[in-house]
Structure 1
Amino acid sequence: MSPKLLFWVPAILRLALLFGAAGLVWWMAGTLSALVFALSALAVALFIQLRYLHALGEWLNDPRSGRLPDGWGAWTEVFARLYRLRREDERHQAEMAEWLARFRQAMQLLPEGVAIMDDVLFLEWCNEAAERHLGLSLARDKSLRVTNLVRHPEFIDYVVLGRYEQPLTLSFRGRKLECRIIPFENRRQILVTHDATESERLDAMRRDFIANASHELRTPLTVIVGFLEIALSDPGMDLATRTAHLHLMTEQGQRMQRLIGDMLTLSRLESDEFPLKRERVDMRALVESVAEETRALSGGRHAVEVECEGPDVMGSQEELRSAFANLASNAVRYSPDGGTIRLSWKRGPDDLRFAVTDSGIGIEPIHIARLTERFYRVDKSRSRETQGTGLGLAIVKHVLLRHGGRLLISSVPGQGSSFTAVLPNTSLGSESNSSENP
């Protein structure tokens, strides 16, 4: 049955019933009584309709499905339909609220900053990354003009001129930011910010590494090529001069070999393709071996003392030997003849520590924070004299990072230095963990 019939058929039947009852009263009690009955019935029906109209008006002021009355007559179907429509609307609203919450949560987790502005650049919403990048606060700055909040000439020009084909790169609040504006809808724009500080730092490190590596390789290559040119231009060179030249070329070639070997070691330590292979390391034997290498490098010019009271650990014996040997060889290079070098392996308060302490020249405090940078040297001339590559402490740092440790440096100029490789207690383990990666 069509909706029209569903409404009119019951209504006509009710009117027919009313007039039928009025006719029965007229037949039994006369015309006046029938009129009074009919008017009274119509008045009651009108009152009921007005009462339900009032209830409908009240519900429209606060349309919640739980507040709908049951209804009577035609109102039963009206309220039933309204109830179904309201329930559907509430369900859609709940779904939209859930999707909006998910969207905002996803936007908050993005590393990029996202800010939504209207067509006149008033802030409508932003995530936490945008607050950090631009110094905004959604609670404080909502409905304020973004160009009044971000007071940077390049940013203001970029936003006002509307040339959004290329992103804007600017230095702001100590960060390197890439900003891009994306128009959407008719009256809104999205401002996206990316913190490029770390990538800029890494790019600078790469450039410095290439420049430093090229510089370090250029000197020995210049020496070797120069001596070869002399040898070619002077076939009658005396034996003593030729031997001296060959000796110097050999030294420079060995220097290049050490440099390239250290660069390859660093590359391997930083690569995910070479995970750490854990094995039980006999620390007493390792420390004694490093001490023997230190005595050999010193050639009797220093007193080398050893203290080994700590336990064995789980780690890479080759990498730990490389790190400890680098610390010890640095102590030999930078300690004057007659000095003392002390190697110790012991338990710390809540960790394990290998320390190399010397009575050398010491290091000024301004240099300590940069000692683990590649090719960083406190005294470049002295480092070259001692055959250092400038990569030893960088290797130590990466070996310790792979083992979950860190490097501590303390020094007093003119009195000596102490380099301590700190390993966590989690390095202690059993043979059953020997094949696990960290």
Structure 2
Amino acid sequence: MNGNKTDMVGSSFPWSSVLVAMGTCAVMLVIGVYPVLAIAVLIVWVGTLWLSRPEPVVEVRVPDEGSVSRQAMVDLVEPFSVPVLMLDSQRIAAANAAAREALGPHIVGQDARVALRHPEAITLLDKPQGTVMVRGLTGARSIWQVRRVAIDQRFSLIEMVNRTAEADISRSHTDFVANASHELRTPLASIIGYIETLADPDAKVDAATAARFHNTVLRESRRLQSLVEDLMSLSRIEAEKHDLPREQIDLGLLAASIGSEVACTAGEERIAVQVTDAVVTGDRQQLDQVIRNLIDNALKYGDAGQPVSVEVARDGHEAVFSVTDRGEGIHPDHIPYLTRRFYRTDPGRSRAAGGTGLGLAIVKHIVERHRGKLDISSKVGEGTSVTVRLALTASPSKELS
């Protein structure tokens, strides 16, 4: 029997013997014994029976110590945020919510070798304790640090820490440094090469060639400057990504203002602006950067004979900003990677147009900081449309044109 319970045996009073004593007392009275003596005999007899009664037997049943310890450990591991398994020998006796989510609720009661089903993890189960890095445990690219700790000869705990994100960040940083170094080295090599030629007294460069070299150096220097500025801008945006903007900005008014500026330099026929008031909470400088980057991309890669369409509209509780060009379009295979740093669908064309490969990466990070949504749609031969959705903080009805 589980739980604390006390059983008492033999605690009832001997009433049958008392009845015999009372009967004997009655017989003594009948045969003429003094009543006082008969009552005294009755009292002595009953007292003797009371004193000689058996002591009650107390049986205390204690709970199963193993079941108490197991439940205590189950209660202990459940609040953990990382997956934790409790093993009874090699069988999974308990798994917290994080472990059930990572490996499935069916693992409780399974043999740990079947549940983990990975050679490196299974090797760990043959040791009383230790740590291994397991790749591909819950997905093709997943990386888990699995640690086993012995509690006693029977029970042990397995802790699983997901290192996938750390590995992705490390790989991303490595790729970024490699790409940035390549992007910086290319214009620098070009600048150094032309300057060395111009500085060589034996080169005998004529005036026309020298002028062409100077123009190339100037172009590459400006490209280098743009690349450094974009890298610094991306760094600032990432540093502020957890700080929510607080300024009230009319996105329609901002887009209309930037569109007018661009029309003055690129030509009225190159841009068509159609906007309405749409007040959002944001960072004015960063939203300005988003609008300019998207318009600049559309002008660079769109059809020069077709206008770029800039629109701001309201859709329910969202402000919708979109830029559409009528260019060559982008193949669907490229679209998922367009917001990666330095990703280009046509590297030669992008560099010739002065692109750094960071414009859409900057846009993506700014939109994420504003808790918005970024969508890129394109059809080959028809053009590309980039849409940004931000939550409205007010919805006035006045239209702008």
Question: Which TM-score bucket, shorter chain as reference?
Answer: 0.7 to 0.9
Q: Does 1:169 align with 2:139?
A: no
Deviation at 1:335, TM superposition (A): 1.0
Residue aligning to 1:78: none
Deviation at 1:217, TM superposition (A): 1.0
Query: Quick one: distance in 2 between partners of 1:422 and 1:345?
Result: 10
3-state SS of 1:356 partner = strand
Residue aligning to 2:97: 128
Supply the AA of the counterpart residue of 1:267.
S
Q: Do the aligned residues in 2 keep the contact of 1:177 with 1:196 (CA within 8 Å)?
A: yes
* CA separation of 1:31 and 1:97: change in aligned 2, threshold 3 A: farther
* CA separation of 1:304 and 1:208: change in aligned 2, threshold 3 A: same
Deviation at 1:392, TM superposition (A): 0.8
Residue aligning to 2:371: 404
Q: Do the aligned residues in 2 keep the contact of 1:304 with 1:343 (CA within 8 Å)?
A: yes
Supply the AA of the counterpart residue of 1:127.
N
Supply the AA of the counterpart residue of 2:117.
R
Q: Does 1:43 align with 2:49?
A: yes
Query: Quick one: distance in 1 between partners of 2:390 and 2:302?
Result: 26
RMSD: 3.3
Q: Does 1:114 align with 2:84?
A: yes
Among 175, 181, 200, the alignment partner of 1:233 is 200
Residue aligning to 1:375: 342
Among 293, 303, 312, the alignment partner of 1:326 is 293
Query: Quick one: distance in 2 between partners of 1:272 and 1:330?
Result: 24
TM-superposition CA deviations, 1:126-182 (whole Å, max 9, x none): 21222233x243xx4444421132211121123225572x53232212022111112
With the length of structure 1 as denominator, give the TM-score of the two structures.
0.73
TM-superposition CA deviations, 1:317-341 (whole Å, max 9, x none): 2111110111111111111221121
* CA separation of 1:284 and 1:352: change in aligned 2, threshold 3 A: closer
User: Percent identity among equivalent residues?
Assistant: 30
* CA separation of 1:169 and 1:296: change in aligned 2, threshold 3 A: farther
3-state SS of 2:291 partner = helix
* CA separation of 1:192 and 1:295: change in aligned 2, threshold 3 A: same
Q: Which structure is higher in helix share? A: 1
Residue aligning to 1:346: 313
Supply the AA of the counterpart residue of 1:170.
R
Matches within 5 A, 1:23-422: 37-47=43-53, 49=54, 53=56, 56-57=58-59, 60=60, 103-107=76-80, 110=81, 112-118=82-88, 120-133=89-102, 135-137=103-105, 140-161=106-127, 164=130, 166-174=131-139, 175-235=142-202, 236-272=204-240, 275=243, 278-295=246-263, 298=266, 303-422=270-389
Query: Quick one: distance in 2 between partners of 1:244 and 1:62?
Result: 97
Gaps of 5+ in 2: 1-27, 397-401
Q: Do the aligned residues in 2 keep the contact of 1:313 with 1:428 (CA within 8 Å)?
A: no
Gaps of 5+ in 1: 1-24, 64-92, 430-438
Deviation at 1:345, TM superposition (A): 1.3
Deviation at 1:273, TM superposition (A): 8.9
Q: Do the aligned residues in 2 keep the contact of 1:169 with 1:179 (CA within 8 Å)?
A: yes
Query: Quick one: distance in 2 between partners of 1:297 and 1:44?
Result: 118
TM-superposition CA deviations, 1:379-405 (whole Å, max 9, x none): 222211211111111111222222221
Deviation at 1:350, TM superposition (A): 2.6
Supply the AA of the counterpart residue of 2:255.
V
3-state SS of 2:333 partner = helix
Q: Which structure is higher in strand share? A: 2
* CA separation of 1:428 and 1:177: change in aligned 2, threshold 3 A: farther
TM-superposition CA deviations, 1:348-393 (whole Å, max 9, x none): 1331111111111112222222221211222222211211111111
TM-superposition CA deviations, 1:85-112 (whole Å, max 9, x none): xxxxxxxx9xx999878734522xx1x2
Query: Quick one: distance in 2 between partners of 1:286 and 1:35?
Result: 116
With the length of structure 2 as denominator, give the TM-score of the two structures.
0.79
Q: Do the aligned residues in 2 keep the contact of 1:297 with 1:329 (CA within 8 Å)?
A: no
Query: Quick one: distance in 1 between partners of 2:365 and 2:316?
Result: 23
Supply the AA of the counterpart residue of 2:134.
T
* CA separation of 1:216 and 1:293: change in aligned 2, threshold 3 A: farther
Aligned length: 359
3-state SS of 1:106 partner = coil
Query: Quick one: distance in 2 between partners of 1:115 and 1:267?
Result: 40
Query: Quick one: distance in 2 between partners of 1:271 and 1:228?
Result: 37
